Amino acid sequence: MSQGKAIIFSAPSGAGKTTIVRHLMGLHDLRLSFSVSATTRQMRDYEVDGKDYYFITPEEFLARAKKGEFIEWEEVYTNQYYGTLYSEVERIWNSGGHVIFDLDVVGGLNIKKILGDKALSIFVKAPSVAVLEDRLRKRSTESPEKIEQRVSKANQEMAFEPRFDRVIVNDELEKALQEAEVCVRHFLTAP
């Protein structure tokens, strides 16, 4: 894997990283292609297999991990695995594009460690954990117990912030989108 660069967006759930990634994907001159992760979690109503995630069983996931098909993978929640397939990154780089990742904090740092200077890691955070919790509740995609679990995990993930190349505080969406765009353009055009 030698061509292209990689942009890694990581954040606690509800911080807005997916919104930022979607915005950047719409800027066609950046030649960004989304790296579709594999997961064992249940597909949400609005998601499409192969577009949002590759939804596979825990058994298939672990078998593929054992074969070394993942750049990185982890058990994010009990029996809920997420991972990045080598084949996904190769597909994008071979097409002349740059890979953009939307990953949890640990996955993002693992990819950064593997790709080194070919990757820019960006941590997105909400102005506070209270704002984050409010956003998760307004999303109405999960039970109160799941939201509590995600908020608890967010508190742990915030400790990883200093290990990222850049931090974007998503307080005002337009400002966060603009900051992300400037940051990514600079990285992609640098030698």
Which of the pair, 50 or 2, is modelled with greater confidence?
50
CATH of the domain at 102: 3.40.50.300
Within a domain: 43: yes
Within a domain: 1: no
pLDDT digits (tens, 9 = 90+) for 6-52: 999 998 877 889 999 999 999 999 999 998 989 999 999 999 999 98
Within a domain: 64: yes
pLDDT digits (tens, 9 = 90+) for 23-35: 999 999 999 999 8
Query: How many percent of the chain have pLDDT more than 70?
Result: 99
At position 118, the amino acid (one-letter code) is K
Say how many domains are in the chain. 1
Whether 14 and 132 have beta carbons less than 8 Å apart is answered as yes
pLDDT digits (tens, 9 = 90+) for 73-92: 989 888 899 999 999 999 99
Which of the pair, 87 or 152, is modelled with greater confidence?
87
Whether pLDDT at 1 is above 60: no
Whether 111 and 84 have beta carbons less than 8 Å apart is answered as yes
